[in-house]
Structure 1
Amino acid sequence: MKIFYGVQGTGNGHITRAREMAKAFAEAGVEVTYLFSGREASRYFDMEIFNAYQVRKGLTFHTRNGDVSYLKTAFETHPIHFVRDIKTLDFSDYDLVLSDFEPVTAWAGRFSNKKVLGIGHQYAFNYPIPREGGDFIAEKVMKYFAPTRQHIGLHWHHFGQPILPPIIAVHEPPERSIPNKIVVYLPFEDPQDVIRMLRPFREHDFFVYMPVRLVSPAEHIKIRPLSREGFQNDLADCAGILSNAGFELVSEALQLGKKIMVKPLHSQMEQISNAAALKQLGYGRIMNELDSKALARWLENPHRIRVTYPNVAKILVRWIWEGMPFIDDDFVEKSWSEVNVLHFN
C-alpha cells in the first residue's frame, strides 16, 4: 500500500500527530510520502522520521499579539501559487490520500479520482461538539480550508458523536514532577507581554519556548529555543503547562497528568472552542487575555487531571490497512473504552 499524506505545518500540533502516525505506518510496512505546508522549509525541525518529505507554501493564518487577522490573511494569500501547488501533485501511484487539515493535498484530492481521507481535530467540528467564537468567516474557513468527503474527527471526549480520541504518544507518566516547574508555550503572543506577566512569580520556574531568540530576563524565566527533544524533556517533569489552546499540546499534557492553563487565540474559532471544551470537561483553566491574576489563581491550585488514551495511531493504521470499513458505534465505543480519567489534588 502507498499513501500520500499532507500535514498542516503552521503549528507544531499537526506535525506531532503526524509523527505518531508515521511510527504506526512504518511498523505496518506502509510506504508513505509526506507533504507539509504552512511555513518556510527552513523553519521545520526534528523531521527525520518523515524521510524525504515535500514542502509547499500552502495557506496559513496571519497572527499578531494573540489575534488572528482574517483580512491580512486574505491579503497575504497567493491564489495563483496555491493553484499551481495543487496542479503539481500527482496521486496516480498512490492507493490513498490523507490530509491532516492540509489544504494543498485536500484540494488536489478533491479534483482527483483518488479516495481522500481527512484525519484531525478540525474534522470533529463537522459534528455538534462544544463550539464558541464562530462567525460567518470562521465557519467558512473551517469548512473549506481543507475539505475532504470522508474524515475522522479527534477530540478529548466523544460528546456522543462518532469521533475518536487524540493521536498522541502513549507512555507512562514520569515518576516525579518538579512542583514549581511550569512550561510556557505561547508562540502567537508578544514575547515581552508574556515575560511581563511571568516576572512577578519568582517562586516558580518558567521554561518558556519561543520562536524568537531572547536573553532570559530573570533567573526564574528560562527562555528556550524551539526543540522537540528539549520540549518533551521539560514537559515530562513539569507540574503544569501554560499555552495557547491548540489541540495536540493539551492532549499531551492531559496524557501526562499536567495541570493546564490555556489562552486561546482571539478570532480563532477552533481555539476558543477548545477552551470551551476544556472548561466543560473540567480538564483545565482559561484566561482570555494574558492575565497575571488568573495565572496566580491557577499556580496556587494543585488540581490536575490525567486522561489515559489508547494508541489511536495504531487503531487507525490497522483500520486503513483493512480497507477503511464503515465506522459503526462498536468501533467508536471500543476506541473510547480504554480511556480513563483520574483526578489529583
Structure 2
Amino acid sequence: MRIAYSCAGEGFGHAGRMVALYDDLKQYHEVLLYIPETVSAFVASRLPRAAVRSIPCFTFIKNKNRVEYIRTVFYSLRQALHFFPAIKRLSRQLVKDRIQAVLSDFDPYLPWAARLVGIPVIQMNHPGIIRRYLTLDPRTWVAALVAFMMEGPWDWRLHVSFFGGDIGPVLRKALLAKPVRNEAFLAVNLKIESRKDILPLLDAIPGLTYRLYPAPGADFDEGLRNCTAVITNGGHQTLSEALVLGKPVLAIPQRGQAEQELNARMLQQSGRGLMVYDVRELGKVLPRFLASLEQLRRPAVIPVGFRFKDSRQELINRLNAILAAYDVPVTATASRSEAIKVAV
C-alpha cells in the first residue's frame, strides 16, 4: 500500500518513533513522510532518502519550562481558523500522492485531510493514554482534551506505552545494534532552560561523572547504551529507551505537563526509577537515587501492565494486519471493521 505517515512536531519522541518504524514499514509498503518543520532536520539526518512532505503543527505554549495548558487550548482554537484551508490543501496532496492509508502519530492535520477524501486513518501515539489515567486533578482533564484534539479522527487507534498501552515501547534499531555497558557515568538529557537549576547540584557531588545531552558532538544513543543511569525529563520515548536498556532513571517532568508527570509517576511505580515533582526537591532525591541504583536496576517484580521490552516488531505486525484488512475487498457479509478485527 501507499502510506502517508505523519507525526507531531512537539518534542522528538514522535519523530523518534517514526525513525524507528520507517525501515520496517518500507519492507512492506511505499511510505511518504508528512512532517512539521520543527522535526524535519531530525528526521532528514536519520532518514536521508525518505520522501518528505511538509505539514503544519500545533504547539504547546510554555512559560520557561512549564506548559500552560489553558493558554495552549485557546491558542489552538485561534490556530483552528487556519485549520480547514490547511487540511483542504493536504487532502489534495494525498490524492495527488495516491495515498491509500494514513498512519498518524499525534498529528490531527493529516487524519482530517484523509477524512475529506475517504482515506482510512490509523492513529498511533503515547500521549492519548492519559485518558485512561484521569484523576481529580483538573490538569489531567485539560491534557485529555488536548490529546483528543491532537489525535484527530481515526478508524483504528493504538497507544504505545511502557505502561497500560496496547503496544509496549518502540526503539530504534540503531540503539539496539551495539552492546549495552555500564561505564559509571550519568547520561543527563535536559532542555537548556532546565540546566541552570540542575547542573550545579550534580557538580556539587564529589566524584560524580556525567555527560550532558544534547551537546555538540555528543551521541545520546552511545550515552544511553553505556551509562550507569539516566537523568531526564518525563518524555515517554527517552524513558522507554532507558527502561528497555535496563538503565535506572531519575525523571524530572516538565512542570504543568500532565502527561510527563504521569510518565514519571508510572516510572516510579515500576520500581525502575524515581521522580522529582519540583526541581527544588532534587537535592534530597538525588543522593537517594544514586544510592539505590543496583536496586532500581534489578527490581524484584515487574508490576502488571508494564512492558520493558522493545515492541517494534509487534507494532509492525499489528499495523500490517490492519493495513492488509483495509487493502482487502470487503464482502457483502463482512464489514471492513470486522475484517480488521479478524486480521488483528
Query: Same fold, TM exceeding 0.5?
Result: yes
1:293 aligns with 2:292: no
Equivalent pair of 1:58/1:82 in contact (CA under 8 Å): no
Name the residue aligned to 2:113: 108
CA distance in structure 2 between the aligned counterparts of 1:315 and 1:129, rounded to whole angstroms:
27
Cα deviation 1:226-248 (Å, max 9, x = unaligned): 86xx1101111001111111111
Name the residue aligned to 2:261: 272
Match of 1:233 among 222, 229, 233: 222
**Aligned-pair distance for 1:155?**
1.6
In structure 2, stretches of 5+ residues that fail to align are 299-307, 327-338
1:168 aligns with 2:167: no
CA distance in structure 2 between the aligned counterparts of 1:286 and 1:53, rounded to whole angstroms:
38
Cα deviation 1:271-320 (Å, max 9, x = unaligned): 11112222222232100122122112112222334733343343234324
The alpha-carbon distance between structure 1 residues 24 and 294, as it changes in their structure 2 partners (threshold 3 A), is same
Equivalent pair of 2:20/2:171 in contact (CA under 8 Å): yes
Match of 1:315 among 308, 317, 331: 317
CA distance in structure 2 between the aligned counterparts of 1:20 and 1:283, rounded to whole angstroms:
24
TM-score, structure 1 as length reference: 0.79
Name the residue aligned to 1:70: 69
Name the residue aligned to 2:123: 118
What is the RMSD of the two structures over their aligned residues, measured on CA atoms? 2.9
Q: Which amino acid aligns with 1:140?
A: L
Query: 30-39 vs 302-311, which deviates more?
Result: 302-311
Q: Which amino acid aligns with 2:157?
A: H
CA distance in structure 1 between the aligned counterparts of 2:208 and 2:136, rounded to whole angstroms:
32
1:192 aligns with 2:192: no
CA distance in structure 1 between the aligned counterparts of 2:86 and 2:26, rounded to whole angstroms:
27
The alpha-carbon distance between structure 1 residues 15 and 314, as it changes in their structure 2 partners (threshold 3 A), is same
The alpha-carbon distance between structure 1 residues 280 and 131, as it changes in their structure 2 partners (threshold 3 A), is farther
The alpha-carbon distance between structure 1 residues 138 and 308, as it changes in their structure 2 partners (threshold 3 A), is closer
Name the residue aligned to 2:25: 25
Name the residue aligned to 1:37: 36
Q: Which amino acid aligns with 1:86?
A: I
Provide the aligned length of Structure 1 versus Structure 2. Answer: 309
**Aligned-pair distance for 1:135?**
4.2
Q: Which amino acid aligns with 2:100?
A: D
**Aligned-pair distance for 1:327?**
4.8
CA distance in structure 2 between the aligned counterparts of 1:279 and 1:38, rounded to whole angstroms:
34
Name the residue aligned to 1:304: 296
Q: Tell me the percent identity.
A: 23
Query: 200-209 vs 11-20, which deviates more?
Result: 200-209
Name the residue aligned to 1:151: 157
In structure 1, stretches of 5+ residues that fail to align are 211-223, 332-345
Q: Which amino acid aligns with 2:246?
A: G
**Aligned-pair distance for 1:38?**
6.8
Cα deviation 1:27-83 (Å, max 9, x = unaligned): 22x111111127275676624256231223310112233310235434486334443
Give the secondary structure class of the aligned counterpart of 1:46: helix
CA distance in structure 2 between the aligned counterparts of 1:154 and 1:80, rounded to whole angstroms:
31
**Aligned-pair distance for 1:195?**
2.2
